[in-house]
Amino acid sequence: MPANNTTGPAVVVAAPPGELTAFDNAKRFLRTKPLGTAGAIILVLMVVVAIFAPSIAPHDPYSIRQDKLFIAPFSSAEFILGTDDMGRDLASRLIYGARISLYVGLLSTLLGSVVGAFLGLAGGYWGGWIDNIIQRFMDILLAFPMLVLAMAVVASLGPSSNNVIVAIAAVMLPRSARVVRSSALSIKEMLYVEAAKVTGCSNWRISLRHVLPNCLAPFIILVTAQLGGAILIEASLSFLGLGVPPPEPSWGAMLTGAARFYVYKAPWMAIFPGVAISLAVFGFNLFGDGLRDILDPRLREERGKGGERKGLAVSEEVKHHRREST
């Protein structure tokens, strides 16, 4: 081979080999994970609907019109999805409901996950009695069934959207702490952390600058998984009358009360909000699953001799299940 490759065909070098940018990862995601992409599309649609609700919604979701009670869906152009027992347009209420679900779901998940992450990082990195105390506290929180804990916090603090956010955050907190802690534990042993210590980095700097960013992948996976759960819990709380207080059109609240009373006369009142909830959670779960497959190499499926897909590592699956099944 000639030392100077000046006479060969022109070689086009697109980008320096090595680091994959986020953009590359995103493109890979779109290509290889159709389900995840579908989930992402649903999410984006939901966010758009929530943000532009006032422009998109055909009617005011709160206005009661006695002359327009119980209009069936798809029967009139004015009220596409029908009206409820108070003459309120269902489509508009669903659109505004997206705002509540997203607002409460996102904020509570972020709050719970971030606080949990810091606690998990502290425990995992520092170890010792700090870790012990934080672990016990997480065990205590995990002893309560998710919905029951949220209900107890709402019962204690009173019904308001902020209290619902705190309640759901309390549920998310221990799970997030666990994940980040186990990440921190394994990263702590890595060589670059030891190198940082040797060069004299303070503990603070090591944990925040070196350990934390590498915990991010499992953390992001957890957050997307928990977002779906948060929306479900919010819907359940609203269904039980313990969520965001009326007249806010929360999807869960739309499924109780009048919707159940008139379920044989106006079944659409009970169907559409449920579809909305399911679609939203479905989207988050699909997206989270796709993200997990891409970001977590331990879960990547092995290919057998004939190219058939083999299996997923059980321990990861078990851990993942225990996180999200409740």
Residues of this chain that interact with another protein (CB under 8 A) are 35, 136-137, 139-141, 143-148, 151-158, 228, 232, 235-236, 239-242, 252, 255, 260, 263-264, 267, 270-271, 274, 277-279, 281-282, 285-286, 289, 308-314, 317-318, 321-322, 324-326
Contacts of 53 (CB under 8 A, 6+ apart): 95, 96, 98, 99
Is the CB of 196 or the CB of 254 nearer to another protein? 254
Region label for 144, one of left (φ > 0), alpha (ψ between -120 and 50) or beta (otherwise): beta
The token pair at 215 is 């915990």
Is the CB of 200 or the CB of 306 nearer to another protein? 306
Distance in angstroms (rounded) separating the CA atoms of residues 114 and 66: 46
Distance in angstroms (rounded) separating the CA atoms of residues 238 and 241: 5
Shortest CB 311 distance to another protein, Å: 3
Shortest CB 202 distance to another protein, Å: 32
Give kind and range of the element (H or E) at residue 147. Answer: helix 146-157
Is the CB of 45 or the CB of 263 nearer to another protein? 263
Shortest CB 277 distance to another protein, Å: 5
Shortest CB 37 distance to another protein, Å: 14
Is the CB of 104 or the CB of 206 nearer to another protein? 104
Shortest CB 54 distance to another protein, Å: 27
- According to DSSP, the residues that pair with 309 across neighbouring strands are 303
Is the CB of 179 or the CB of 211 nearer to another protein? 179
Shortest CB 256 distance to another protein, Å: 8
Give kind and range of the element (H or E) at residue 164. Answer: helix 161-188
Shortest CB 282 distance to another protein, Å: 4
User: Among 202, 224, 242, which residue's Cα sits nearest to residue 287?
Assistant: 224
CA 182, 185, 189, 191 dihedral sign is positive
Is the CB of 118 or the CB of 262 nearer to another protein? 262
Region label for 190, one of left (φ > 0), alpha (ψ between -120 and 50) or beta (otherwise): beta
Torsion of CA 293, 295, 297, 302, to 10 degrees: 20
The token pair at 60 is 């005011």
Shortest CB 262 distance to another protein, Å: 12
Is the CB of 151 or the CB of 187 nearer to another protein? 151
Shortest CB 231 distance to another protein, Å: 9
The token pair at 144 is 């309560």
Distance in angstroms (rounded) separating the CA atoms of residues 215 and 116: 13
Is the CB of 207 or the CB of 289 nearer to another protein? 289
Task: Report in angstroms the alpha-carbon separations of 47 from 43, 95, 121, 283, 304.
Answer: 6, 10, 31, 12, 40
Q: Quick one: DSSP state of residue 219?
A: H
Is the CB of 196 or the CB of 237 nearer to another protein? 237
CA 23, 29, 32, 34 dihedral sign is negative
